[in-house]
């Protein structure tokens, strides 16, 4: 596996730990439906958070929370809808982005709730 893939997996693991420490229950990781993949599906009360994790090393100039294009958003919405129906859930669905930025030996984690709307 490439170094960037390993770094991405590390970022997802840090995001899971962050969510758990914030009181979320992790429902699924790397949930796939057709061509879509959801990094993390987490629940807190009646809110189901569909979480896209973006991991980068310090010095990346682009705001990584804005790197989710319209095609990716449509795929996330489709997969989230399928998950909710498959699990027969009655929840509020929210789309979040967690950014994990490596700064030397440490990591900065930001959780952007309601990163985008699907309607």
For 1-119, list the strands marked E by DSSP. Answer: 25-33, 36-44, 47-57, 92-103, 106-112
Work out the average pLDDT over 20-25: 98
Structural domain includes residue 119: no
Q: How many domains does the chain have?
A: 1
Distance CA 39, CA 28 (A): 8
pTM of the full structure: 0.88
- 44-103 pLDDT, tens per residue? 999 999 999 998 887 555 565 567 888 999 999 999 999 999 999 999 999 999 999 888
In a domain, 90, yes or no: yes
Q: Supply the CATH number for residue 69's domain.
A: 3.40.1350.10
Print the domain residue range for 22: 3-112
Whether the predicted pLDDT of 117 surpasses 90:
no
CA distance 52 to 65: 9
């Amino acid at each position: 596996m490439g170094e960037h893939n390993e770094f991405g997996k590390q970022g997802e693991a840090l995001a899971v730990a962050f969510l758990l420490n914030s009181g979320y229950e992790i429902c699924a990781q790397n949930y796939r439906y057709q061509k879509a993949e959801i990094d993390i599906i987490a629940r807190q009360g009646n809110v189901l958070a569909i979480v896209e994790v973006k991991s980068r090393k310090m010095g990346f100039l682009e705001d990584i929370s804005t790197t989710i294009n319209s095609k990716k958003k449509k795929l996330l919405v489709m997969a989230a809808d399928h998950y909710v129906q498959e699990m027969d859930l009655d929840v509020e669905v929210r789309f979040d982005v967690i950014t994990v930025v490596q700064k030397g030996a440490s990591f900065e984690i930001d959780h952007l709730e309601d990163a985008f709307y699907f309607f």
